[in-house]
Amino acid sequence: MKILLTAALALGLLAVPAQASPAHDAVRYASVKGCGDDDAYHPCGFWRLTTHDGRTRLLKDAAVVAREADGKSSVYQAAPLAVSGDGLKIAYLTRQGRLAVRTVGGGVRLLPGDALPRIAQYSITLHLSGDGSRLAAVFGDEKPRATRLFDTATGRRLGTVPGAETFVDFSGDGDEVLTSYDGDEGTYDLRVYTDTGQRLADVSPPQLVAANSPEALAADGRTTASLVTGDRPELVLYDTRTDVVTSRVPVKLPAGHDLHALDWTGVNEVTVHLVRARDDRPSIMSVHRLDVLTGKLKLRDRYRLRTDSYTFAACGG
Beta bridge partners of 182: 188
Residues 147 and 180 grouped into a single domain: no
pLDDT in tens, 54-68: 899 999 999 999 999
Of 135, 163, 191, which residue is a domain's last? 163
Q: How far is residue 127's CA from residue 240's CA, in Å, rounded to a whole number?
A: 22
Residues 86 and 217 grouped into a single domain: no
Please give the full DSSP string across the chain, using - where no structure is assigned.
Answer: -HHHHHHHHHHTGGGSPPPPPPPTTSEEEEEEEEES-GGG-EEEEEEEEEETTS-EEEETTB--EEEPTTS-EEEEEEPPEEE-TTS-EEEEEBTTS-EEEEETTS-EEEPPTTSS-SS-GGGEEEEE-TTSSEEEEEE-SSS--PEEEEETTT--EEEEE-TTSEEEEEBTTSSEEEEEEE-TTS-EEEEEEETTS-EEEEE---HHHHTSPPPEE-TTSSEEEEEE-SSS-EEEEEETTTTEEEEEEE--PPTT-EEEEEEEEETTEEEEEEEEEETTEEEEEEEEEEETTT--EEEEEEEEPPTTEEEEEE---
Residues 33 and 122 grouped into a single domain: yes
pLDDT in tens, 120-131: 999 999 999 999
The CATH number of the domain where 272 resides is what? 2.130.10.10
* Cβ–Cβ under 8 Å, residues 205 and 198: no
**Residue 6: which pLDDT band, with cuts at 50, 70 and 90?**
very low
Residues 193 and 139 grouped into a single domain: no
Residue 118 reports pLDDT greater than 60: yes
Residue 309 reports pLDDT greater than 90: yes
**Residue 236: which pLDDT band, with cuts at 50, 70 and 90?**
very high
pLDDT at 22: 62
Residue 230 reports pLDDT greater than 90: no
Backbone angles phi, psi at 265, to 5 degrees: -130, 5
Q: Which of 289, 291, 22, 237 is nearest to 131 (CA)?
A: 22
**Residue 156: which pLDDT band, with cuts at 50, 70 and 90?**
very high
Residues 154 and 186 grouped into a single domain: no
pLDDT at 1: 28
pLDDT at 183: 81
Q: How far is residue 144's CA from residue 166's CA, in Å, rounded to a whole number?
A: 11
pLDDT at 18: 43
Mean pLDDT of the residues in the chain: 91
pLDDT at 149: 98
Q: How far is residue 78's CA from residue 3's CA, in Å, rounded to a whole number?
A: 46
Q: How far is residue 47's CA from residue 34's CA, in Å, rounded to a whole number?
A: 11
Residues 188 and 259 grouped into a single domain: yes
Average pLDDT over residues 289-310: 95
Residue 238 reports pLDDT greater than 90: yes
* Cβ–Cβ under 8 Å, residues 54 and 66: no
pLDDT in tens, 130-141: 999 999 999 998
Of 163, 180, 204, which residue is a domain's last? 163
Average pLDDT over residues 295-315: 94
Q: Which of 312, 285, 269 is nearest to 4 (CA)?
A: 269
pTM: 0.90
pLDDT at 251: 97
Residue 5 reports pLDDT greater than 50: no
Tell me whether residue 175 is in a domain.
yes
Which structural domain, as residue segments, surrounds residue 244? 165-307
- Kindly state the percentage of the chain with pLDDT values over 90: 82
Residues 214 and 266 grouped into a single domain: yes
Residues 61 and 78 grouped into a single domain: yes
pLDDT at 273: 96
Residues 189 and 155 grouped into a single domain: no
pLDDT in tens, 251-282: 999 988 999 999 999 989 999 999 998 877 77
pLDDT in tens, 92-102: 999 999 999 99
Enumerate residues 6+ apart whose C-beta is below 8 A from 72.
Answer: none
Instruction: Provide the domain count of the chain.
Output: 2
Backbone angles phi, psi at 10, to 5 degrees: -70, -35
Of 144, 163, 182, which residue is a domain's last? 163
